[in-house]
Structure 1
Amino acid sequence: MNSKLIAIADANAPQSIIGISLLVKLLQNNGHQADQMLAKANIAAQLLSDPNATISFQQEVVFTRELVNTLLDKELGFKAGQYYRLNAYGLIGLAAGLSETVNDAIVFFLKYIRLSHIHFDINFFKKDGNAILRFSDQFELGDLRRFYLERDFSFAFLSTRDMFPRSIIGQKPKTIHFDFPCPTSVEHYQSLYECIVHFSMPYNEILCDERYLDLQLPLASALTRELLEEQCKIKEITLFGHENFAGKIRQNIQAVENEIPSLEVIAKMHFLTARTMRRKLKQQGITFQQLVNEELNKKALHYLLTTSLSIEQISIRLGYSESASFINAFKRWTGKTPKACR
């Protein structure tokens, strides 16, 4: 399974207040009050008691930086993640926990990840007997990057531990890869996460035995999850609005395999003429060819970074009749050859 799941789309999109309320609890448990930090981030204290309240990404970053600079704890990211249990994510967490299998729960969570507090793009795929969650930078997080990575990895390990048993007969060991140097000692980190941890790796990722994905979840309830998913959809629309036309075209392009999608074919999917579709996209400041190039670039990067497919095989999957054409296109998109990128 090699599928790139949707992630938070826009740093300007509203953020739920719940993430800040969890960090406030962490502060209070460490003997600090949050009033001054909230004021610096221009967050009204009364919002903490409103589960529907939202703040901006920038406000969250200001508050989080104040938190990190106040507590000065090398384990702060890990400790913060312990507060982000699945049920702390509201509808999305509850619905994920009601899925049939671990795989279903992960796919559901990533489908509605914009409703979470995660600020990374995530690839979910299988390789060499492992199920892998690979975290990629989506925003410029600066000095807070390590905090957010450790927080989200801590949450991921805690939530999966809650969802399914710790061991399978003959299991592959759970493993964490961080791309930054070890801040303290490897042994210390391995005691925190209770698994193997490697540093200065090419990617930030979590690996576990792929057989975990098929485990049945004890609280599975298809009907209740369906009801909660409807609420997730409503909340998405409330926070982010209806998906724009260009976004729908992107999905159509993503779904096409083994051929380069044409404007005429995609237009027919929406019962439009090619001319009308061009006009609608122009109104959103983009052309169809730009969308095709961007989505083919994403697919190419995904295959290069998460599979062992040859350049020729990737070329075919993207719809190129000759690998040379794909290589030239990839160089135009990225300035690098596919081989250099891999």
Structure 2
Amino acid sequence: MLSGCLTNKTKAFNANYMASNLYTLATARGANKDKLLHGTGIFTDDFTNNRLLSAKQLLLLIQNVQHLCTGNDLAFQFGHSLVNTIDIEQPDLVAALKSASNFVGCMRVLSIINAQIFPFMSAHTFKDREHVYIVLQDSIGLRKNQRFMIEACCTALVAISKICVGRRLKFSFLFPFLRPKHIYEYEENLGSRLTFCHPMLSIKIPISELEIPCPGRHLGLNRYALKTVINKRLYKFSLMDKIRSQLRSKPNLSLPEIATLNGLSPASLKRALKDHHISFQQLVDELCCQEALYYLHIQKLKNEQSATYMRFNDVNNFRRAVKRCTGLTPSELRQA
């Protein structure tokens, strides 16, 4: 049952990494230590005893941090702290990143270990002749923590690019929410290429940037480090991302069929998804929405082309699906 699959209750994360970074960040700002850990099931001894925590516990800690601490830079500082301490938690990962040929290789490394080092968000990529679009998606059931994790994730990616390539790459960040009042924090940590009220949460990168060689590139070292990372990896996917992967391979799979693939009854799969604050149909609609936004809103493709890429045999069914998952018709999406 869900072998090798991470859920929000799986205890898989050393307390001395993400939780410790959050705790240090919050207490440095005067947060009450007892209130900070209240309701999380985390204790101060856990930071030195390498106790394993679940993503659910980490999310509860993040909620407490946001409640007890002031300042609009918390998530950005958390993102920086994760990268600044990653060499202690995952030295083989750092070696694999630094020895990659270019940032394409770095992204491959990150995708392999994503569920282990940052279980909160994952990515799906689209590519055209000039750009790669990294679509960010909730991996664990973030709910109120989503904005915090978006800010932390984007900050960490920028910081990792500096480690790999030696400078900040020309990322363009496309956010679905309104321009925040604390825009300075976004510009300071992410750069000036910021778009708000965009329908698709994503990061756009010129392909020419991705092909910039890493100063420390070394094929042999990269292969060895990556093999070590994979051998130490406990989980390849989160539950939500495993189902996404299965649906991308075979979009017409039903809930009972997905349940069978994962060794579950349909009722058990429904309950597991409910624990992550999402339903099977919402996952189906999310993937449809991502593809519709990319092919119609960004690429401005015609219905027939888009339907083919989205594996619809009937254009009318394609129109209905796009309208259901985005709230707009294909023509409205192209004009948006």
Are 1:223 and 2:203 an aligned pair?
no
Task: State the secondary structure of the residue aligned to 2:224.
Answer: helix
Are 1:306 and 2:305 an aligned pair?
no
RMSD of the alignment, in Å? 4.2
Q: Name the structure 1 match of 2:157.
A: 156
TM-score norm. by structure 2 comes to 0.72
- Where does structure 2 lack aligned partners over 5 or more consecutive residues? 267-280
Going from structure 1 to structure 2, the CA distance change for 1:59 and 1:21 (only over 3 Å counts) comes to: same
Q: Name the structure 1 match of 2:74.
A: 76
Q: How many Å separate the matches in 2 of 1:106 and 1:205? A: 15
Task: State the secondary structure of the residue aligned to 1:132.
Answer: strand
Please state how far the C-alpha of 1:73 moved relative to its aligned partner: 1.1
Going from structure 1 to structure 2, the CA distance change for 1:57 and 1:296 (only over 3 Å counts) comes to: closer
Please state how far the C-alpha of 1:217 moved relative to its aligned partner: 1.4
Going from structure 1 to structure 2, the CA distance change for 1:79 and 1:294 (only over 3 Å counts) comes to: closer
CA contact (8 A) 1:134 1:203 kept: yes
Q: Name the structure 2 match of 1:267.
A: none
TM-score norm. by structure 1 comes to 0.70
Structure 1 residues 100-109 or 215-224, which shifts more? Answer: 215-224
Q: Name the structure 2 match of 1:20.
A: 19
What does 1:158-237 align with in structure 2 at a 5 Å threshold? 158-166=159-167, 174-187=171-184, 189-236=186-233
Task: State the secondary structure of the residue aligned to 1:125.
Answer: strand
Task: State the secondary structure of the residue aligned to 2:45.
Answer: helix
Going from structure 1 to structure 2, the CA distance change for 1:37 and 1:94 (only over 3 Å counts) comes to: farther
Q: Name the structure 1 match of 2:45.
A: 46
AA matched with 1:303:
E
Please state how far the C-alpha of 1:105 moved relative to its aligned partner: 0.6
Q: How many Å separate the matches in 1 of 2:258 and 2:147? A: 42
AA matched with 2:264:
Q
AA matched with 1:304:
A
Residue identity (%): 15
Task: State the secondary structure of the residue aligned to 1:45.
Answer: coil
Q: How many Å separate the matches in 2 of 1:81 and 1:59? A: 18
Q: How many Å separate the matches in 2 of 1:198 and 1:282? A: 38
Structure 1 residues 317-326 or 62-71, which shifts more? Answer: 317-326
CA contact (8 A) 2:72 2:182 kept: no
AA matched with 2:303:
I
Q: Deviations over 1:104-158 (max 9, x none)?
A: 1112202321112241232233347333322233454333222211111111112
Q: Deviations over 1:246-271 (max 9, x none)?
A: x69965x7458xxx899xxxxxxxxx
Q: Deviations over 1:140-194 (max 9, x none)?
A: 43332222111111111121123224489xxxx5432322223325456323433
What does 1:8-157 align with in structure 2 at a 5 Å threshold? 10-17=7-14, 18-32=17-31, 34-51=33-50, 53-85=51-83, 88=86, 90=90, 91-127=92-128, 129-157=130-158
**Rg bigger for which structure?**
1
Please state how far the C-alpha of 1:200 moved relative to its aligned partner: 2.7
Q: How many Å separate the matches in 2 of 1:67 and 1:299? A: 32
Going from structure 1 to structure 2, the CA distance change for 1:148 and 1:102 (only over 3 Å counts) comes to: same
Q: Deviations over 1:185-242 (max 9, x none)?
A: 5456323433232333323333333211111212223333333334433443x45799
Q: Name the structure 2 match of 1:266.
A: none
Going from structure 1 to structure 2, the CA distance change for 1:228 and 1:36 (only over 3 Å counts) comes to: farther
Structure 1 residues 329-338 or 318-327, which shifts more? Answer: 329-338
Q: How many Å separate the matches in 2 of 1:62 and 1:249? A: 25
Going from structure 1 to structure 2, the CA distance change for 1:227 and 1:183 (only over 3 Å counts) comes to: same
Structure 1 residues 106-115 or 307-316, which shifts more? Answer: 307-316
Aligned residues: 306
Q: Name the structure 2 match of 1:323.
A: 315
AA matched with 1:305:
L
Q: How many Å separate the matches in 1 of 2:115 and 2:177? A: 26
Structure 1 residues 325-334 or 36-45, which shifts more? Answer: 325-334
Q: Deviations over 1:20-45 (max 9, x none)?
A: 11112223433556454235311132
Q: Name the structure 2 match of 1:272.
A: none
CA contact (8 A) 1:311 1:338 kept: yes
